Amino acid sequence: MDMDAPALSPNKYRDTWSGQVLGERVGQEVKLSGWVHRRRDHGGLIFIDLRDRTGIVQLVFHPDQAGGSHETGHRLRSEYVVSVTGKVVDRDPETVNPELPTGEYEVHVTGIEVLAESQTPPFAIEGFQGEVGEEIRLRHRYLDLRREQMQSAIKLRHKLTTAMRGFLDGEGFLEIETPILTNSTPEGARDFLVPSRLQRNSFYALPQSPQLFKQLLMVSGFERYFQIARCFRDEDLRADRQPDFTQLDIEMSFVDGEDVIALNERLISHLLGEMGIEVEGPFPRMGYDEAIGRFGSDKPDLRYGYEITDLTEVLRGTGFKAFGGVIESGGAVRGINFGQRELSRAQLDGLIDDAKELGAKGLVWAFREGDGWRAPIAKFLSAEELSGLNSAMGAEEGDLMLVAADAPAKVAAILGGLRTRLADRWDLIPDDAGTNLCWIVDWPMFEFNEDENRWDALHHPFTAPSGEFDPEKPGDATAQAYDLVWNGVELGGGSIRIHDPELQSQVFKALGITDEEASERFGFLLEALTYGAPPHGGIAYGVDRFAALLAGVDSIRDVIAFPKTASGSDPLTGAPSPVDDIQLRDVGIQLRKPPKPQGG
Ligand code: ASP
């Protein structure tokens, strides 16, 4: 179906879309309905741009042709809703508007009915340049959504989810809904809780993902499931996160990782193809360790170079304490060769500030000069060390090198973060870089949480290890997990799951979850796994992010009809908001006193 101008059954409001007032209608009478987009009243002639979902057409009210309608024409204001009849005519050549698909034609109005008046909108629907604050846009989101940019973003999102459904239906996947009021599903965030009125002192949790239900559906024998699912994660404020968001959630049985990856390469090629982006599988793959080593990120942007080089071996035993000390305590020294750049002292200091913001204690900068370095710290390193560093980083005369030292994971994160900032600031991504898709594979199962002195699952606790699992050495275990990265953004991620209850219990133990706790929280899963669970695995994609990337907008809020602000509130409805005492009493809740104001 043409989304922009769907089939129309003529009724009392319209027989033609505004966007469809085209050449073949010249000479005919049409009936149109929509909003007054723009109005120019020359006293005699009145011009109205009429807008509906499909586009804009110019209406003309002639004092002598329009009869009573001309009077009504004077009254019209922006965003009034009207229904008009009139005759389609060719515009005079000098008044043709090449910007509009309907710009060669206009409708000479013979009758009009005002269906609704409008207050003056708080911001212009037309000619909006993004200068209006987000709070006011969201407070009047129904008006903001009238803007062309929002209309096309929402249409694009629909096209994307429709393509998802179509493809997966074609591959035999069943769309199955899972509950919103449920119990905790751990994906690493806090739960949103909903108090139960009927069962005092008990709470539902909103799902962080449908993970456990989709696994149960595999135990149930559905074999191929998907859902465009709402997920809820109560996380701290981070730019471009929404407390409720949408995933394309997929699970399949009797598959290994290769099968899931192959299905997903077909899916992604199909979806992008529908959007006019041609890609072809197999997509390249990179191991997690390599991604962290070379790019300092588990979602590396491969559209530009400036990779990270490990310099630890070159500097082992150095007399320069800032590096030597870090190496002796098991840390690493790594650097980026940022090439030929003339940076001012202020710009170099700016890079040091960047590194510090990213958690570094400092950042060393140096330019290659002859066999050595022009750098404040050059005098602390031997000639041999300097030339070793130059050759390790492939530095040529004048190249700028940026070097940091810290614990290995930290130095990776610092330089990975710096690499992204360099790319932004120096515009390093070639315009013709196109679409870069890459699977990140061979993830560690666990990551040590220093603060809590325990192991955390890097993906989630239901991910299957590759090969034998040694519960004594969680740090050595690799997961059968895969993430799909698109131009440096994580598009989705998934894994093969554990289908053996014994192995699942061992993994819970490795995570410090006691048997008692495991049976309390996940007893239903462990039990289900004892009734013949097939090998299974799946994936989930962030639909909001996917749509934002396709729409070329910076924020996922621009592809969500009714998003929340960065602080998790909704200026339109006022959510979240206090509730009255009776509602609280019904669910057996008494509020604590608000915390005392700080510093008072
Ligand atoms: N449930 C996972 C997530 O939300 C995705 C998956 O493993 O399929 O990230």
The per-residue pLDDT for range 394-444, each reduced to its tens digit, is 999 999 999 999 999 999 999 999 999 999 999 999 988 889 999 999 999
Which percentage of the chain shows pLDDT scores above 90? 88
7, 60, 62, 64, 510 from 30: Cα distances, Å: 15, 13, 17, 19, 71
The per-residue pLDDT for range 511-526, each reduced to its tens digit, is 999 999 999 999 999 9
Among 208, 209, 213, 235, say which to mutate for ligand 1: greatest number of ligand atoms within 8 Å of CB.
209
For residue 536, the cross-strand partners are 253
Among 215, 225, 459, say which to mutate for ligand 1: greatest number of ligand atoms within 8 Å of CB.
459
Q: Is the CB of 209 under 6 A from ligand 1?
A: yes
Atom index in ligand 1 nearest the CA of residue 538 equals 8
User: Can you give the pLDDT at residue 126?
Assistant: 81
Q: Is the CB of 539 under 6 A from ligand 1?
A: yes
Phi and psi at 82, nearest 5°, equal -135, 160
The per-residue pLDDT for range 452-465, each reduced to its tens digit, is 889 999 999 999 99
Q: Is the CB of 185 under 6 A from ligand 1?
A: no
DSSP state of 304: S
Residue 79 CA to ligand 1 centre (angstroms): 44
What the block records as the tokens of 398 is 């004048």
Residue 537 CA to ligand 1 centre (angstroms): 10
* Whether the predicted pLDDT of 1 surpasses 70: no
Q: Is the CB of 492 under 6 A from ligand 1?
A: no
Which tops the pLDDT comparison, 530 or 132?
A: 530
| CA proximity to 59, closest of 70, 49, 69 | 49
Q: Is 324 exposed, middle or buried (0-12, 13-18, 19+ CB in 10 A)?
A: middle
The kind and range of the H/E element at 52 are strand 46-52
The Cα 307–Cα 295 span in angstroms is 6
For residue 490, the cross-strand partners are 485
- Residue nearest to ligand 1 atom 8, measured at CA: 539
Instruction: Report the first-to-last Cα separation within the chain, whole angstroms.
Output: 63
Among 182, 184, 185, 187, say which to mutate for ligand 1: greatest number of ligand atoms within 8 Å of CB.
187
The per-residue pLDDT for range 118-167, each reduced to its tens digit, is 999 999 888 766 678 889 999 999 999 999 999 999 999 999 999 999 99
Atom index in ligand 1 nearest the CA of residue 495 equals 7
User: Can you give the pLDDT at residue 54?
Assistant: 95
Q: What angle do CA 203, 186, 550 make, to 5 degrees?
A: 110
In the three-class reduction of DSSP (H, G, I as helix; E, B as strand; rest coil), residue 497 is classed as strand
Q: Peptide bond preceding 10: is omega within 30 degrees of 0, i.e. cis?
A: no
For residue 174, the cross-strand partners are 225
Atom index in ligand 1 nearest the CA of residue 214 equals 8
User: Can you give the pLDDT at residue 238?
Assistant: 76
The Cα 427–Cα 425 span in angstroms is 6
Asked whether the beta carbons of 287 and 263 are under 8 A apart, the reply is no
Please report which residue ranges of 364-500 form alpha helices under DSSP H: 383-392, 408-425
User: Can you give the pLDDT at residue 600?
Assistant: 43
The Cα 461–Cα 518 span in angstroms is 11
Q: 566's torsion region: left (phi>0), alpha (psi -120 to 50) or beta?
A: alpha
Q: Is the CB of 538 under 6 A from ligand 1?
A: yes
Band (pLDDT 50/70/90 cuts) for residue 342 is confident
What the block records as the tokens of 239 is 């730019």
Neighbouring residues of 46: CB distance < 8 A, sequence distance ≥ 6: 39, 40, 60, 61, 70, 73, 74, 76
Give me the DSSP letters along 93-125. Answer: GGG--TTSTTTTEEEEEEEEEEEE--PPPSS-S
Residue 540 CA to ligand 1 centre (angstroms): 5
| CA proximity to 41, closest of 64, 61, 18, 55 | 61
Residue 209 CA to ligand 1 centre (angstroms): 7
